[in-house]
Structure 1
Amino acid sequence: MNSSGGWVYILHGDDVVARDDAVRSLKGRMRALPAGEHNLTVISEGEASVAALRAAADSLPFLADRRMVVVSGLLGKLQGVGAGSGRGARRGAKGASRSAGTADETAALLAYLHDVPFTTSIAFVEAGKVDVAPIQKAIPEGRGHVMPFPRPEGFGMTEWVRKRARTRRVDLDESAVRELAQLGADDLRRIDTEIRKLACYVADGEPVTREDVRALVVGRETLTWALLDALAARNLAQALSALRRLYLQGEEPMKLLGADVAPLYRRLLVARELGSLPRNERSSMESAFGVNPRALPKQMEQAAAFSVAEIERALELLLALDRGVKTGELEVEAALELTVAHLCSRL
């Protein structure tokens, strides 16, 4: 191996399932070496810094020839695209100081990459897309390996489902593939989990069909979307129909309240506020509120049918319901139905 530096891997992209598979593969190869477990260091995003990376990478291997350091989120943090990169961090003198510190750290990392010990491999693991060009330039020729994992889009989603099914040794027919693909690319981990569940659901040797997917996966999701869309449209008949069908599937009312109904009105409140902002200000606030840009247009359209006071009143009703159930004053199923009726009225 070239003594000018160790291997440097960059694994980045929104296909978190495939990316994490690749990370596990790298770790597995390291652990398979003599004393491999003792020479594998994992640095989480919260702990990621150039100093932490250097301290781990410069350590001599323990009773072995090689060691590996896996660090998450460092490149994104330095490039200002990581989860903690910044809401309001660049304002005033404090923001300028932080930017200067980040520039210094970036320069230190680029300088270090040329001198990574030949006994050490480094794997940078990044959520989303990062600019790999300056990193590649700093790595000695032939020592870097970039592994992009883009989010599947359009027809690519069906092929992604097929590949995951093959990986999980699950036989999906084409109708099942299309049904799972319709869940979208925003939560690939969930789809992967559902594929594993489907493998246990069907008899050995039998292909998974659309009906299997709808029975096990899409049923709850579809009904929940129907409930939330009906609430946003103030359509009482459709809301109660979806709610009662969820009850029949064994859905817990308090889980629906906390995980689905209350978050709907919080999203509508945020969308209502964002809708009042100029477009240039809105885009900068989306990440601060944790808003999915793809879902925002629909949320803004739904929120436009409510005043801020109405949304706040809806949240008050849900809080009162939660309190009443927890104190034993209300019977949960009937109380949630009554609250749904109130939510579908003019608040």
Structure 2
Amino acid sequence: MDALEFLEQKKPANQPIYVLTGEEDFLRRAVRESLERQLLGDADREFAVSVYAGDTAQFSTIKGELDTLPFLSPRRIVVVELADPFVSEFRPQLERLVEKPSKGVLILEVKSWPSNTRLYKMVPSEATIQCKAPPMQRLPAWCVHRAAVHGKKLTQKGAEMLVELIGASLGILDQELSKLAAYVGDRAAINDEDVDHLVGRSRAAETFKIFDAIGAGRATEALTILDRLLKQGEEPMLILGAFSWQLRKIAQAGRLAKQGVPLSQALLEAGFREFALRSCEQFVRHLGWRRLERLFDWLLDADLGIKGNTPVSERLQLERLVVRLAQPREAAGRLTASR
């Protein structure tokens, strides 16, 4: 079952064992908190929940906890975090536990949950919860739902802008929604102007400084600004989100210009304001057609890299993107051809 689908359920049936699989930490925490509320009600979590590390937990200890009568709660919950080694070592015992459940509830948090195993097939699908980042097209709706959790109504346009600025990190999106809820105060709704003012302008301003340096071919200056942002504690995914917001509009303007639309008009249609046209035109001309056509690929490379799909550090992923953009045209052509 998809984690978002699980969280939207009203009164799901209780299961003796749950498996939370996937690498989206925010979703995993949200599902676990939801399960604890569902299973324990108003009972004190301190008396009802035990947590163990998967690389040191022993099955006999876990089974003993599960069989222990609850104290001041309807049931006990035992959580095994990073449980992949625990599952591998005690798979037969876990299979028997599924066949003959204990009184308590076991929650296994794993990175992988292969579908070709007997244990996978024994655990009900409604108890196997996939905690993976949703596709981009589902994120605005998720933001609207989370804004309601913070007591605010988020407009569709505001949700779309927030996703464009931040990207697919659910934890960071939720942090920004919390800030926005505080920012609008007693107002019931958060609109796109609020998102632009609180989230967009500060990051867009720094991004424009980097892009101004890139457009002028000043790679060292662009990297220096990036270094300052990172040293100030800015999240790499947030920086990439601001890059993406600008570069997608640049790519759209490039496509329009290639179809014969005057560049200044193409930039306006892509969403840039008049005060930014001069620097944006310089940026587009600096890139040239070849790099304009590669922007989406490069953004995807950086996004996957920052999310951990390569051993390259987050800083280096961003620096590589800046260098690709800042290279003079001839050097960039050689770099692109070599890849």
**TM-score, normalised with respect to structure 1:** 0.54
Q: Is there any run of 5+ residues in structure 2 with no aligned partner, and where? A: 1-13, 240-304, 329-339
Question: Using a 3 Å threshold, how does the CA distance of structure 1 residues 293 and 201 change in structure 2: closer, same or farther?
Answer: same
8 Å CA contact 1:11–1:124 kept in 2: the answer is yes
2:165 is paired with a residue of what secondary structure?
Answer: coil
Match of 1:69 in 2: 78
Matched, 1:214 2:196: yes
1:155 CA displacement: 1.6
After superposition, the Cα gap between the structure-2 partners of 1:159 and 1:113, relative to the gap in structure 1 and judged at 3 Å, is same
- The C-alpha deviation readout for 1:59-115, integer Å capped at 9, x for no partner, is 34346662111222213x46xxxxxxxxxxxxxxxxxxxxxxx85444443344434
Output aligned runs, 1:138-217, within 5 Å.
138-139=122-123, 145-217=127-199
- CA separation in 2, counterparts of 1:218 and 1:6? 43
Distance in 1 separating the partners of 2:56 and 2:105: 19
Q: Is the 8 A contact 1:35 1:62 kept in 2?
A: no
Shift of residue 194, structure 1, vs aligned partner: 0.9
Maintained 8 Å contact 1:69/1:120: yes
Give secondary structure in 2 for the equivalent of 1:66.
coil
Measured after TM superposition, the shift of residue 179 of structure 1 is: 0.9
In the alignment, what sits opposite 1:22?
31
The alignment status of 1:114 with 2:99, answered yes or no, reads yes
The 5-angstrom pairing of residues 1-347 of structure 1 reads 7-32=16-41, 37-44=46-53, 50=59, 53-62=62-71, 66-75=75-84, 77=85, 103-117=88-102, 119-126=103-110, 130-131=113-114, 134=117, 135-139=119-123, 145-227=127-209, 235-236=217-218, 256-257=230-231, 259=233, 287-289=310-312, 298=321, 301=324
TM-score, structure 2 length as denominator? 0.55
* Whole-angstrom distance in 2 between the partners of 1:193 and 1:262: 15
Amino acid in the other structure paired with 1:158: P
Q: Which amino acid aligns with 1:198?
A: L
Evaluate the alpha carbon distance shift between residue 256 and residue 37 of structure 1 in structure 2; reply closer, same or farther with a 3 A threshold. Answer: closer
- CA deviation vs aligned residue, 1:205-241 (integer Å, no higher than 9, x gap): 353222211221123333444455667778449958x
Tell me the SS of whatever aligns to 2:135. coil
**Greater CA drift, 22-31 or 157-166:** 22-31
Greater relative contact order (Cα < 8 A, sep 6+): 1
Letter in 1 for 2:141: E
How far apart are the structure 1 equivalents of 2:126 and 2:77? 14
Matched to 1:67, the amino acid is: R
Work out the CA distance in 2 between the residues paired with 1:161 and 1:301.
Answer: 32
- Cα shift at 1:195: 0.8
Deviations 1:306-325 (A, max 9, x none): xxxxxxxxxxxxxxxxxxxx
Q: What is the aligned-residue RMSD (CA, Å)?
A: 4.7
Separation (CA, whole Å) in 1 of partners of 2:210 and 2:54: 34
CA contact (8 A) 1:45 1:74 kept: yes
- Does the CA-based 8 Å contact 1:230-1:239 persist in structure 2? no
Partner Cα separation in structure 1 for residue 325 and residue 136 of structure 2 = 25
Structure with greater helix share of residues = 2
In 2: Cα distance, 1:300 partner to 1:111 partner = 56
Checking the alignment, whether the CA contact within 8 Å between 1:39 and 1:66 is kept in structure 2 is: yes
Distance 1:185 1:61, change over 3 A: same
What is the one-letter code of the residue matched to 1:122?
L
C-alpha contact 2:27 2:131 (8 A) present in aligned 1: yes
- 2:300 — aligned with what? none
The gaps in structure 1 that reach 5 residues or longer are 79-101, 247-252, 265-281, 306-347
Structure 1 residues 42, 17: closer, same or farther in 2, change over 3 A?
same
- Using the aligned pairs only, state the percent identity: 19
Q: Does the Cα contact within 8 Å between 1:58 and 1:116 map onto a contact in 2?
A: no
Report the alpha carbon displacement of residue 180 of structure 1 after superposing the two structures with TM. Answer: 0.5
Q: CA deviation at 1:192?
A: 0.6
